[in-house]
Amino acid sequence: MKVFVTGVCGQLGHDVMNELAKRGYEGVGSDIQEAYAGVADGTAVTTAPYVSLDITDQTAVEKVITEIHPDVIVHCAAWTAVDMAEDDDKVAKVRAINAGGTQNIANVAKAIDAKMVYISTDYVFDGQGETPWQPDCKDYKPMNVYGQTKLEGELAVANTLSKYFIVRIAWVFGKNGKNFIKTMLKVGKNHDEVKVVNDQIGTPTYTFDLARLLVDMIETDKYGYYHATNEGGYIS
Q: Tell me how far apart the alpha carbons of residues 21 and 48 are, in angstroms, rounded to a whole number.
A: 9
Which residue type is seen at 220?
T
| Alpha-carbon gap, residue 61 to 112, rounded angstroms | 13
Contact between 52 and 35 (Cβ < 8 Å): yes
Q: Which of 36, 146, 164, 226 is catalytic?
A: 146
DSSP string, 67-128: HH--SEEEE------TTGGGSTTTHHHHHIIIIIIHHHHHHHHHHHT-EEEEEEEGGGS---
Q: Which residues of 156-179 are buried (b: 16+ CB within 10 A; e: fewer)?
A: bbeebbeebbbbbbbbbbbbbbeb
100/97 Cα distance (integer angstroms): 6
Is 146 assigned a catalytic role? yes
Just list the catalytic residues.
146
